[in-house]
Structure 1
Amino acid sequence: MKNTVLHKANTRGHADHGWLNAYHSFSFASWYNPERVQFGTLRVLNDDTVAAGMGFGEHGHDNMEIITIPLEGDLAHKDSMGNAETIKTGDVQVMSAGTGIRHSEFNPNHDKRTKLFQIWLFPRTQNVTPRYQQITLEKSKQKNDFAQILSPNQDDEGVWIHQDAWFYLSDFDKDFSKKLALKREGNGFYIMNIEGEIEVNGEKLETRDAIGIWETAEIEIKATTNAKFLVMEIPMEQ
């Protein structure tokens, strides 16, 4: 029996700080929903819009794998390891916070907003040495396919993290359908539909709807319009 949980876009937590307009798929900051604390090892999925010239001041993290995916615009990053980089739309960034890291993030552009997903996963190993990685994705690989952008393996495609997780970005044409099999037994899938409309195992997802599926070996995703989405395969137990 397949187990699923549907998270419609309008059921997410929402905080509008003026400079930051944030939607939370899971409990975060002042928004708490006891039924939406995490999905397996996925703890945070924030859908953030940062106003021009604004951003997050220096703050700390530890023992968390933090993935940032810009969807529109750029994000400037500085951290206590000495990294000072700008991640752009089409890039993916990961920080393994491990024993502790401090960083800041801001929109370096004064004439346009920045939109991004920030995702936190619990690591499989505590207190690792902090690390930073950033790559530019080949968008052509996302066309009518599951383009791997993250894995547990340093020599595999995409960035890597200290967790048995695999992420995929996809850009499907209308009516295109494809199946995706689990990489690791015991994992589950969490799919965030970025734009357009898709069906996941027959369940309809509109823009920013998400679905979690576990105890299944594969999923099938069909685009009912042109659509872009993020698939996360993650362990269901820490």
Structure 2
Amino acid sequence: MEIAIGVVVGAILAIAGFILGRSSGRSVGLSEGPLAGSPETDDHAALEDRSSSRESELNTVLVEAIGRVSAFLKTNVRKPLIEAGEAAGADELRERIEHALGALSDIDFFLEEPSMSRSGQSLVSLVENVAQEFSGDQDVRLRMQLASSPVRAVVSGPVMMDVLYLILHNASRFGGDSTIDIAVQAIDGRSLILVRDHGPGFSDEALQRAFDPFYSTSAEGLGLGLPHARSLIEQMGGQIELRNVSDGGAEVEVSFPSS
């Protein structure tokens, strides 16, 4: 229980720090407003209204984030443990405990600050390694189109593998199909990884909010996978784009300058 409380408190503090940090400094200089009747009065009032609106927005986002974490813990930690009946055997109890601990580890994963030590890496090799791991964990078929010539970028290998796993997990969960396509190619001086599912694609709202922390169309999800992936990719000097494919499905494109 102490571990769970610690992880939750850490998550909430991280949420608050992230949200409030983005708005820091916006109200600097507003405490001493212009003299009444001066030409700057209207501008000052407008800035105060904007600041108030921003604070309201931040509060709304923070409440949403706390609610998302609470729902995740209720579904993935509290429920599996409570539903273990008195007749549950050792194997069932072990499975339920491992599920609950896994959920706490998921939250802890998003709070970690990974090492960003970068070097030239083969994206083909990284994709192959992650595909093998993901296929062993998930009941999904991966179809890969890998370039025969080298496709390289300066990235952190372990971090890039985490990013790819998050993207594949998102495609598997929301793709509505048991097949995911992965392509690795080099175009116009950039190294690309394309991940495509064969589901309904992104809704208009999802395309706008997919990178918002704690946004998810699933009641049980944390909504941190794609935002976390984007943050890590950008820290490594890359870009991530989302789109719907004309003949169905959603596609995620990750790109880096070729090395």
Higher relative contact order (CA 8 A, sep 6+): 1
Please give the TM-score of this superposition, normalised by the length of structure 1: 0.26
Higher helix share: 2
Higher strand share: 1
Largest Rg, 1 or 2: 2
Please give the TM-score of this superposition, normalised by the length of structure 2: 0.25
